[in-house]
Structure 1
Amino acid sequence: MPHVVSGDARIYWRSDGDENLPPLVLGNSIGTDFAVWDDVLPRLMRHFRVIRFDARGHGASDAPAGDYTLEQLGNDLDAVATAAGAESFDYAGVSLGGMVGMWYGINKPGRLRRLVLCNTSCQMDPKAWQTRIDTVRANGMQSIVDMAMGRFFTPEYVERNGIPYQRVRTTFLQTSATGYTGCCAAIRDMQVADDLHRITVPTLVVTGERDVSTPPAAGEFIAGRIPGATTRMLPAAHIAASEVPLQFCDTLIEFLTDPPVETEQDRYDYGMARRRQVLSPAYVDARNASITPFNRRFQAFITRYAWGEVWTSSRFEDTTRRIAVLSMMLALGRWEEFEMHVAAALRAGIEPAVIEETLVQAAIYAGVPAANTGFHLAGKVIEKHKQG
């Protein structure tokens, strides 16, 4: 596992995605590790090289005894960015990670491009955090887990008890009490409010309309003191990346990426690149070779909008979008398109079992006869694919 030494601690980090994409560093909240970003990682990797790390005292990072400071945590972030080779980077941090982002933006702005502060505050009640420190030191993480989960998430999300929730709860219980209380001390002693005006990079402050830990007013306070900062409120509690991952990603991507399309030619080029990626260059080249003056405008239209808008959206993972297309083509009896997308899915490495599962479900919702035809045609395409 990659670690970087920062002061008196080894900080665990990892990088995921294409190294040619812009680097985005993510900072976790207190009581979580970098897996708190798992629900949004696949989509973010479509746009960024994602660098995650476990805050000091959490996950696989060291948990030295004693109180930590925001300066230490900010230096940990700097050490991770250096180890990852990110000379400049965007940063998004939630809760404690947002506090680290504020410190970093104030004290080490030279490497930051843009800053996203999620569900965080620049000033909190020191007595409340000292009480939490005393409770955990006396009784362990189990003594506050239900309180913490009730602040992390809405009651409905907790009641659903889904796998993402279970993962966050388990991580909280496994967090070092020494590391947790060390970070509590950093929050207790935080002093950044008076210096927020020194943050000069473009900044977005994300709040949760049902966040009781750092309510929307805390985010508005921060945004009001950072020149040019903007705000966005999401329908979630404290850990929005788990509770509303699609809206959370929409928000980050919109703020952190430059529009890929400015002209209709841009849209066509963007769509053509995506079409070749999804269907394979050889297939697309063959189809383009058959374009005639009669269908040229229609083919350009399809490339601009089917491929330049729908298929380029990262809201769905490719496998999900392929399943949706196969289901719709089967239900409508568009068998030529169905076979084309079965073949494209196989070329992209989709397992035949995924296609089988899609057709079994289609038998329930689109009818057995349609599914029967789908199995027949897909079976032929699968055999042909096996034979090369």
Structure 2
Amino acid sequence: MNDTIRLGDGTSLAYRLDGAADKPVLILSNSIATDMTMWDDNVPVLARHFRVLRYDTRGHGRSGAPPGAYSLDRLGRDVLELMDRLEIRHAHFLGLSLGGFIGQWLGVRAPERVDRLILSNTAPWLDGPFEEMIAALYDGKPMTEFAQMFLANWFPARMRETDAATMARFHAMIMKTPPQGLAGAFAAVRDADLRSVLRLIDRPTLVIGGAHDTVTLPEHSEQIAAAIPGAQLAILPAVHLPNVEMARAYEERVLAFLGGSGS
């Protein structure tokens, strides 16, 4: 079921529900420059065990893309507003990359809404040329150049050379991302720094990293897992989107942590 809600600030947020209504809810949060369809390969398996709730982060997909800088606080509150509107008191949460930043925020700021937390291919803080990329977006730099950058960062060379269908699917996602939405999300990552508060997360947590990830390094995953009491760490032989690159192994690790049966 696809639908949208109107958030408190007037922005529309698109979402989709899959799986039986009597199953525990698992929320999936997408990476920057993608939309909820980045999880298409995984939902058939996950929806056997969970009521899977996906949404397009503001600035992405079918959600609204208001101008200006977004904040991690705003992105986190978007999730809470969505849960409130759908009358979901608590849920498991799996966020990848930007979605993992949002997951960290939820673990710190709204732990009572989170059952189990999975932080995938993310970091508590990132240093990068965000100001330059934001300026380039507002100056009209072609999205094709950003698409080339993202695909090179997300997938191994062999996959980019041999899996034309997947590359075309993700290239289309990037090209559909509104430039001001991408700029707003870059600002949220630029300004985020959760290093000093990660230890406050008290939810059962699994941290997934990619051994060959050059965006959010394996060391970032190790840093998060070391800071969160009792967190588990899994480093997979993948780049930045292991849910796509090695979907079955990724799903097995997620289900093992969540209990498989949805419990």
Letter in 2 for 1:6: L
Contact preservation (8 Å) 1:69, 1:189: yes
1:22 alignment partner in structure 2: 24
Letter in 2 for 1:133: I
1:319 alignment partner in structure 2: none
Letter in 2 for 1:191: D
Q: Are 2:6 and 1:5 aligned? A: yes
1:136 alignment partner in structure 2: 137
Counterpart-to-counterpart distance in 2, 1:254 and 1:83 = 30
- Matched residues, number: 259
Letter in 1 for 2:96: V
Taking the TM superposition and a 5 Å limit, the aligned residue runs for 1:1-388 are 1-8=2-9, 9-125=11-127, 127-138=128-139, 139-257=141-259
Offset of 1:133 from its aligned partner?
1.2
Q: Secondary structure at the match of 2:196?
A: helix
Q: Secondary structure at the match of 1:50?
A: strand
Q: Secondary structure at the match of 1:115?
A: strand
Q: Secondary structure at the match of 1:47?
A: coil
Higher relative contact order (CA 8 A, sep 6+): 2
Offset of 1:111 from its aligned partner?
1.1
Q: Secondary structure at the match of 2:129?
A: helix
Sequence identity of aligned pairs in percent?
35
Offset of 1:235 from its aligned partner?
1.6
Letter in 2 for 1:214: T
Q: Secondary structure at the match of 1:86?
A: coil
Kindly tell me: are residues 161 and 247 of structure 1, through their superposed partners in 2, closer, same or farther at Cα, counting changes over 3 Å?
Answer: same
Contact preservation (8 Å) 2:49, 2:261: no
- Deviation by residue 1:138-168 (Cα, 9 ceiling, x = unmatched): 2132222111100011111111133223211
Contact preservation (8 Å) 2:28, 2:55: yes
Contact preservation (8 Å) 1:4, 1:79: no
Q: Secondary structure at the match of 1:20?
A: coil
Greater fraction of residues in strand: 2
Q: Secondary structure at the match of 1:194?
A: coil
What's the TM-score once normalised by structure 2's chain length? 0.95
Offset of 1:5 from its aligned partner?
2.2
1:348 alignment partner in structure 2: none
Offset of 1:6 from its aligned partner?
2.2
Offset of 1:259 from its aligned partner?
6.5
Greater fraction of residues in helix: 1
What's the TM-score once normalised by structure 1's chain length? 0.65
Letter in 2 for 1:128: P
Offset of 1:7 from its aligned partner?
3.2
Contact preservation (8 Å) 1:153, 1:243: yes
Runs of 4+ in 1 over 3 A off after TM superposition: none
Counterpart-to-counterpart distance in 1, 2:90 and 2:46 = 18
Gaps of 5+ in 1: 261-388
Letter in 2 for 1:250: E
Contact preservation (8 Å) 1:135, 1:143: no
Query: Quick check: which has more Rg, 1 or 2?
Result: 1
- Deviation by residue 1:104-160 (Cα, 9 ceiling, x = unmatched): 1100111100000000011111x5111221222221322221111000111111111
Contact preservation (8 Å) 1:25, 1:81: no
